[in-house]
Structure 1
């Protein structure tokens, strides 16, 4: 039961929420919505790990692409999940909120641990990716799926699965992605020339994504740049392609202004490369250091500059003689583009709408004319009645983009502005205006002042109505709490692997859904009550807050987390992605356990 203080706190909170809801319903809405947060995504990386990839992708370029995608993201709250599939989901990772380099390392370690298996059904990977996005989506983040595959199916004949069934499931999954606004980007892996490019292109085209083909890691920066340009508001700037001579060779990296949050320098080479960095003041910057991060894989190195000072940086690259080294740059700016609301939302045919749009940083107008000097902007106008879209070039005024648009018909219109230069672009949230007869006055003069008293008079009834519902809400809340406590369920799943300590071999991951349990369950139940694991009934799981679970065990059971034994006698809370190791000395086996919360 809730304590008396918590009950009163809850009541006060409900009253405040009701009043705030009433006030927000009364307040007039502005025409210009807030700009979205910059470059935040919920991305699921989907990779085919069937045996056919041994010839389609012998060098595991798919893994390299996924790791490079993760490295090029910021360390500020993008979310990434992973699905590895054959004709079933082999392994998966729910959306992980990236807040540090350690989170990225966790994802890349997961990718490095993927194994290949028999058979293929591409619909399986897409369906699971959509489910992960639905379960873990974040408001304000752009959802996306990046699929790396050869597009071919190979079914296990003993299951009776057919190509027609797979195509039907794929069609449903693609339709769901399209309806949910989830673009699917396909990267066809084509080392053996057997790529089903039409299938992958169709998936991308139907969901407003893009389709790419590669057999070389050298293509990855350009492929990822196009994906980033569509979703992350970033663009790759090719810096230089050099032929290594065995000595350090200089490459200039220009940071244009202080609004650059991150500068990502990718160095593509199949052979070892050494790099040094000198800042604009001439001082050598250690790689890595607190504000210079380094990520390496077998086909690339990525140097990330955090909040770099503006100016010309010098990158010195040393490679194996005659090796071709490609160097690219991606900026992530702390900039948003705002469109001032027109003086009215209602117009008539022939009226001229004045347009003014400008960059902001930390909600303040950004006035660096040097950055504006390299930018172009267009007004994008969508006729909501006819569905047609056209663009009108805007004038660069040095610290803003200005222009006008003449209303051609008595229709509703959606206006937005897109501005870009070579290293990034920004786009405003759309504004809707109407030129239909009877839609309202062409100006706002006097309208708000006349309507305001009537609107304010409606505030009191709204509040009273809210308070009138309060008693019912409180009663419903406590009834719900009582029922929930009596029959509390679980969410998410537990991934189990069992390692034989004599051979070192591990079983395939087993995904155990938790939504069938109520109140509590033990580890022995997850292990299907196998007699050899009878001692695991002492490891008990109960529901916890925020879609987490609590694990408890008796002292004779050792439970390790992050390589250290932990005391679970009084309970250890597991959040999404937490892993436990449970060695069982009696049978020389170790249980590896990972909790995945579907709502994390």
Structure 2
């Protein structure tokens, strides 16, 4: 509360001090990257045994994970029935092991009795709220049959469940979290209306399937649509027992990854030939291979430009569906406008160009292979005009003439056959014709001057700020010297062997203000990542845990976000899953 008052007073003082100099300029939102934050939400109720008997939902989630980029995409998973049964916090994917950990979590989830879809959606929104990072695209993928089956022993009614779902969906929409729903319909009991409404209300999309063969197309469309990519069509192959050649063209050097999914009833063999004619080892640092019971996924890392050959060998007469999605790190930017201000009738010149990791790209082949369009929206009447842009080796260029509206918004869209990009919107305000200069008033005498209320208000605010600052500093000093009581029991589990260390009892009375988990682990270099897990004293002999590390904190088998602080009470037992070593630290706070 003190911090909120302090911040509010600073803002008020700033507004008073700068009121006469505030000017509104054209907006230029931060550019987005191709990274995403995907929450996979799956119904694990008893009804899924009939609506999803072959665990297509598991295959879908694993395929989505395999499609995710190794350059920092974040994926989390929630398994729900009429409550959240298991949860995996958003994991920043930086290795194949990160993906394998997520897929092992998915395979470990059991089935439970009842269902309440609002539970899963609400929890997904909550996780994205607590873990969302600027520069990431958030999305939610729900895999369910759309039917609720509430526990009759609990007080929640069907209407309350529907209301909770409506609130969760509205919350997701307001925060810009599109929800893609995949309806599982093996038993023909799919509630299509519920899942369609959830998707449509959040600018997502509804899909339906009763078999695994539709998954590549569905997931490729979700993946591509969300990251502004396009699915590159690849011919279907019917196995003949021999290797068959599939041509794949990598259009330019800015492709980060090429995801090739193959789905068939029987296992397939693959080989890969690069544009120079060299066969690449699979798997290798450049080519990753993932397999499940229904699909294979080949991921090319930073493939060179040119024509590649994918050799596929399937059993005779087996149909093999192949999908291809490229992942780019290109962002479309608008060039700065030539003038700071414009009048009605002025001609505005617009330029746009691609950036790769903050560096402008000059490549005639890239720009000439694309179609670029300028969209000009009249913000007074809502109408939008389109203008084709010209290309050169520096980007796209064009112009348009301003009308009589007060404000316009311009956006450039560029696309080829494998992806599209859209620039952040740029607002242009049109100056109105200036009126005649006002008549100069005679100078005021001392008696005519108004009472300086603004100065008085600023003086009062200044005094209040000083008083609050002093109080705040005193409170911080008191907090810094606050002691701890009780002790923490520590056990370390080697996840490879299953072995645990003997419990170690660490008394806390020697610490003041705060301590780090790494200190309790004797500052061992092996556990250096726990340096950013901090404990502070809290009210009622409790601890406040703040997790600023990449480690996952679990309580009762559920991942818990600790970035904003987590209350740890006496006898609470937590598991800290380390990322850099395959070990877990178990802690218990006792008297």
Q: TM-score range by the shorter chain?
A: 0.7 to 0.9
Moved more, 392-401 or 429-438: 392-401
The answer as to 2:561 corresponding to 1:597 is yes
User: 1:99 corresponds to which residue?
Assistant: 94
Tell me if the contact between 2:376 and 2:409 (Cα under 8 Å) persists in the aligned partners: yes
Cα distance 1:548–1:191, how it changes in 2: closer, same or farther (>3 A)?
farther
Deviation at 1:234, TM superposition (A): 2.1
Cα distance 1:120–1:595, how it changes in 2: closer, same or farther (>3 A)?
closer
The answer as to 2:475 corresponding to 1:479 is yes
When normalised by structure 2's length, the TM-score is 0.74
Partner SS state of residue 486, structure 1: coil
- Tell me, in whole angstroms, the C-alpha distance in 2 between the residues paired with 1:392 and 1:117: 56
Structure 1 residues 104-503: aligned runs within 5 Å: 104-344=99-339, 346-397=341-392, 399-435=394-430, 437=432, 476-477=472-473, 479-480=475-476, 482-483=478-479, 486=482
Cα distance 1:484–1:168, how it changes in 2: closer, same or farther (>3 A)?
farther
- Tell me, in whole angstroms, the C-alpha distance in 2 between the residues paired with 1:111 and 1:541: 38
- Tell me, in whole angstroms, the C-alpha distance in 2 between the residues paired with 1:190 and 1:546: 53
Deviation at 1:168, TM superposition (A): 0.8
Tell me if the contact between 1:378 and 1:393 (Cα under 8 Å) persists in the aligned partners: yes
Cα distance 1:196–1:476, how it changes in 2: closer, same or farther (>3 A)?
same
Tell me if the contact between 2:376 and 2:384 (Cα under 8 Å) persists in the aligned partners: yes
Deviation at 1:164, TM superposition (A): 0.3
Tell me if the contact between 1:35 and 1:428 (Cα under 8 Å) persists in the aligned partners: no
When normalised by structure 1's length, the TM-score is 0.73
Moved more, 28-37 or 136-145: 28-37
Cα distance 1:321–1:474, how it changes in 2: closer, same or farther (>3 A)?
farther
Tell me if the contact between 1:523 and 1:540 (Cα under 8 Å) persists in the aligned partners: no
Tell me if the contact between 1:544 and 1:550 (Cα under 8 Å) persists in the aligned partners: no
Cα distance 1:349–1:68, how it changes in 2: closer, same or farther (>3 A)?
same
Cα distance 1:272–1:387, how it changes in 2: closer, same or farther (>3 A)?
same
Deviation at 1:108, TM superposition (A): 1.0
1:298-339 deviation per Cα after TM superposition (whole angstroms, max 9, x unaligned): 111111111111111111111111111111211112322111
User: 1:40 corresponds to which residue?
Assistant: 35
Tell me if the contact between 2:369 and 2:416 (Cα under 8 Å) persists in the aligned partners: yes
- Tell me, in whole angstroms, the C-alpha distance in 2 between the residues paired with 1:47 and 1:383: 43
- Tell me, in whole angstroms, the C-alpha distance in 2 between the residues paired with 1:388 and 1:546: 58
1:536-560 deviation per Cα after TM superposition (whole angstroms, max 9, x unaligned): 8959999999998579699xxxxx9
Deviation at 1:85, TM superposition (A): 0.3
Structure 1 residues 441-590: aligned runs within 5 Å: 476-477=472-473, 479-480=475-476, 482-483=478-479, 486=482, 577-578=551-552
User: 2:451 corresponds to which residue?
Assistant: none
Tell me if the contact between 1:32 and 1:341 (Cα under 8 Å) persists in the aligned partners: no
Aligned residue among 75, 81, 85 for 1:86: 81
- Tell me, in whole angstroms, the C-alpha distance in 1 between the residues paired with 2:148 and 2:513: 41
- Tell me, in whole angstroms, the C-alpha distance in 1 between the residues paired with 2:39 and 2:508: 29
Cα distance 1:474–1:253, how it changes in 2: closer, same or farther (>3 A)?
farther
Give the total of aligned pairs: 492
CA RMSD of aligned residues (A): 4.0
Cα distance 1:64–1:432, how it changes in 2: closer, same or farther (>3 A)?
same
- Tell me, in whole angstroms, the C-alpha distance in 2 between the residues paired with 1:87 and 1:68: 26
Deviation at 1:284, TM superposition (A): 1.2
Cα distance 1:202–1:553, how it changes in 2: closer, same or farther (>3 A)?
same
Partner SS state of residue 220, structure 2: helix
User: 1:66 corresponds to which residue?
Assistant: 61
User: 2:534 corresponds to which residue?
Assistant: none
1:219-238 deviation per Cα after TM superposition (whole angstroms, max 9, x unaligned): 22222233223321222212
The answer as to 2:20 corresponding to 1:56 is no
Tell me if the contact between 1:367 and 1:399 (Cα under 8 Å) persists in the aligned partners: yes
Deviation at 1:484, TM superposition (A): 6.5
Tell me if the contact between 2:26 and 2:429 (Cα under 8 Å) persists in the aligned partners: no
Deviation at 1:60, TM superposition (A): 1.3
Tell me if the contact between 1:257 and 1:371 (Cα under 8 Å) persists in the aligned partners: yes
Which runs of 5 or more structure 2 residues have no equivalent in the other structure? 1-16, 436-460, 492-501, 528-545, 565-591
